[in-house]
Amino acid sequence: MTTPYQDRPLPGPMLDTSTTPFFEAAKEGRLMIARCTQCRQPHWYPRPLCPYCLGDTAWETASGRGTVYSYSVARRMGPVPYAMAYVRLEEGVTMLTNIVDADLDTIHIDQPVEVTFKPMEDGWMMPMFRPVEGQTDAA
């Protein structure tokens, strides 16, 4: 069985003062995470106040590399199948995302993945992840 990845229309991002920097960076091909300026902990999803200590946070560019923590191919949740996943980033936080640009039936836990960006409405971009070619799973 193969389930080829297909693009699906993505609505524009939900923009407000605390999300716009993330989506402006995504437009330029950068995945941002937030880290506390006080306790130095990174967290996900990004917030202006740290969920460990309520300190102010600052944006930083993530490596965009990670591994699949869990996944599910949603086969009847819309016009085309899509692969929901949690990806553990090298920076130590795990984010909800989609796995794309792959046969969705080959996705597996611990698979190395890297960020890529898929178009949303009005020229915005959403970070998603694709398998890293030729790289074997982390032990």
| Binding site residues, other proteins, CB under 8 A | 10-11, 13-14, 16, 18-19, 22, 41-47, 51-52, 69-78, 82, 84-86, 88, 92-98, 109, 120, 126, 128
Closest CB to other proteins among residues 40, 47: 47
The nearer residue to other proteins, 66 or 134, going by C-beta atoms, is 66
Q: Which is nearer to other proteins, 69 or 132 (CB)?
A: 69
Least distance in Å: CB of 50 to other proteins? 9
Closest listed residue to residue 65, CA positions, set 41, 92, 43: 92
In whole angstroms, how close is the CB of 80 to other proteins at the nearest point? 10
Q: How far is the CB of 85 from other proteins (least distance, A)?
A: 8
Phi, psi of 94, rounded to the nearest 5 degrees: -115, 125
Quick one: 41 or 116, whose CB is closer to other proteins?
A: 41
Sorted by sequence, the CB contacts under 8 Å of residue 80 that are 6+ apart come out as 6, 7, 8
Using the minimum distance from each CB to other proteins, give the nearer residue, 52 or 134: 52
Give the nearest distance from C-beta 22 to other proteins in angstroms: 8
Shortest reach from residue 67's CB to other proteins, in Å: 12
In DSSP notation, 49-111 reads: B-TTT--BEEEEE---EEEEEEEEEESSSSSS-EEEEEEEETTS-EEEEEE-SSBGGG--TT-
Non-local CB neighbours of 130 within 8 Å, separated by 6+ positions = 99, 100, 101, 102, 113, 114, 116
